[in-house]
Amino acid sequence: MNLNEIIRNRVSVKNYVNEKVDPKLLIELLDDAVYAPNHKMREPWRFILIDQDRKDALKQAFINQVGVIDAKDEDKFDTIFSAPMVIAFIMKLNKNYNDEIEDLQAVGTVVQNFMLLAYEKGIGTAWKTPAFIELDGFKEALGIGTDELVVSLIRVGKTDKFPAPKKRVPAKERVTMY
Ligand SMILES: Cc1cc2nc3c(=O)[nH]c(=O)nc-3n(C[C@H](O)[C@H](O)[C@H](O)COP(=O)(O)O)c2cc1C
């Protein structure tokens, strides 16, 4: 597959087959994904891999922190972490607002790199940003600092069928020649 085919065919995957994904392979993909633009080489990312086996432990830790999980959050939590693996892309909040925006953009490029590389290997992904990722209780349960941001939870796993890509507005309709 050429890069343009990989970009055009990568899609958010909802349904995963019940099969483990080798964390070693995912770390190899992340090792390529980090060749992403980032200002002043701050490399503002880190990653937490959460195997489906650890879902209940994470949920219990979350409950221990917040007392009770809001029903909507619990539903989202259960759905997201039903994937064979979830990767949390984490960055440190930056005291400088402009640097923080740059860092957020840089982490976003790593996420996309990762999803494209995974797709190239036949592995499905989906980007999730449920409201609970902002909760200190969720951050504590995940073992990260409250001075860090969960940029995204990426569901990862093999799938029987990649959905058809959603159509995009052709870029030429959004182009202005200045
Ligand atoms: C920053 C960001 C946050 C997202 N958060 C969610 C989310 O919380 N839930 C969800 O279902 N999809 C989420 N998505 C995925 C988009 O809905 C999805 O990429 C979009 O519908 C295009 O579909 P595709 O990925 O199949 O091309 C998010 C995507 C981005 C870039």
Full-model pTM: 0.98
Q: Is 151 exposed, middle or buried (0-12, 13-18, 19+ CB in 10 A)?
A: buried
How far does residue 178's CA lie from ligand 1's centre (Å)?
31
pLDDT tens-digit map of 6-44 = 999 999 999 999 999 999 999 999 999 999 999 999 999
Name the residue of 86, 107, 127 whose CB sits within 8 Å of the most ligand 1 atoms, as the mutation to test its pocket.
Answer: 127
What CA–CA distance (Å, rounded) separates 110 from 33?
A: 5
Overall size of the chain counted in residues = 178
pLDDT per position as a tens digit, 40-56:
999 999 999 999 999 99
Q: Which fold is adopted by the domain 16-159?
A: NADH Oxidase (3.40.109)
Q: How many CB atoms lie within 10 A of CB 164?
A: 8
130 C-beta closer than 6 A to ligand 1:
yes
In the chain, where the domains are located? 16-159
